[in-house]
Homo-oligomer: A and B are copies of this chain.
Amino acid sequence: MKIKEKLYRTAALLFEKKGYPATSVRDIAEAMQLKPSSLYSHIRHKEEILISICDLVASRFERAIEEVLSQEVSPLEQLKKVIDFHVQMAFEDPVSITVFNNEWRHLPSEELSIFVQRRKEYEAKLSGILAALGRSHALRPIAHHFILQTMLSSMLWLHRSFPKHAEGGLSEIQQSMKIFILKGILL
């Protein structure tokens, strides 16, 4: 049970550095001090590794937003919780998040379409929060889609260079991010 997780973590590190297509099965094997053929005692295809990584990260995001939506607080509080969670994810597991964000297009076509669908649904739920905020006339008159994408995008740099600027700790970054985004979109 332990070795499979080590395999995923090792592979994720390589995927992060060189990208999925440029990372060979032999690279992964070498990093684990194994011979290439030995990997196939634990996995069926190379693609399986990428699928697992993406699926795991996607599930975490889905669980998080589901929990936020289940809480009966104001849309503004919901949005704050979502931002906190995104920052926290980039803080706790930057490697997986990077792979998730950069390599998803290399999923095999069947899993790719499922993945795109799941992402759409996630964005739809986030969009629902923004819509509720808009109904209370708290939003600037900018297209919802613009706000959604810009908000998500503005947090995407974190996982690339987090450790360097985490001196202040997670909560400080969460605070800064909330200020930046909320001042940007709220009236």
Give me the interface of A with B, judged by CB distance under 8 Å: 18-19, 21-22, 102, 105-106, 140, 142-143, 145-147, 149-157, 161, 165, 173, 176-177, 179-181, 183-185
Partner of A154, one of B142, B150, B176: B150
Which residues of chain B come closer than 8 Å to A154, judged between CB atoms?
150-151, 153-154
CB distance from A60 to the nearest CB of B (A): 21
Chain A contact residues, majority secondary structure: helix
Which of A21, A150, A185 has the most B CB atoms < 10 Å from its CB?
A150
Identify A140's interface contact among B19, B22, B179, CB under 8 A: B179
Interchain Cβ contacts under 8 Å between A and B, 22 examples: A19-B21, A19-B106, A21-B21, A21-B22, A102-B102, A142-B179, A145-B165, A146-B176, A149-B157, A149-B161, A150-B155, A150-B157, A150-B177, A150-B180, A152-B157, A153-B156, A153-B157, A156-B156, A179-B184, A180-B184, A183-B184, A184-B184
Name the distance in Å between A183's Cβ and chain B's nearest Cβ: 5
The 5 closest A-B pairs by CB, nearest first: A154-B154, A184-B184, A153-B157, A21-B22, A180-B184
- How far, in Å, is A113 (CB) from chain B's closest CB? 16
Given contacts A149-B157, A153-B153, 4 further A-B contacts (CB under 8 A): A143-B165, A147-B180, A149-B161, A150-B155
Complex CA distance for A92 and B76, rounded to whole angstroms:
35
Shortest C-beta distance, A55 to chain B (Å), equals 21
* A157 surroundings in chain B (CB, below 8 A): 149-150, 152-153
**In the complex, A177 Cα to B142 Cα: how many Å?**
10
For residue A94, give the distance in angstroms from its CB to the closest CB of chain B.
14
Q: A180-B150, A184-B181, A185-B180 are in contact. Are A106 and B22 (CB under 8 A)?
A: yes
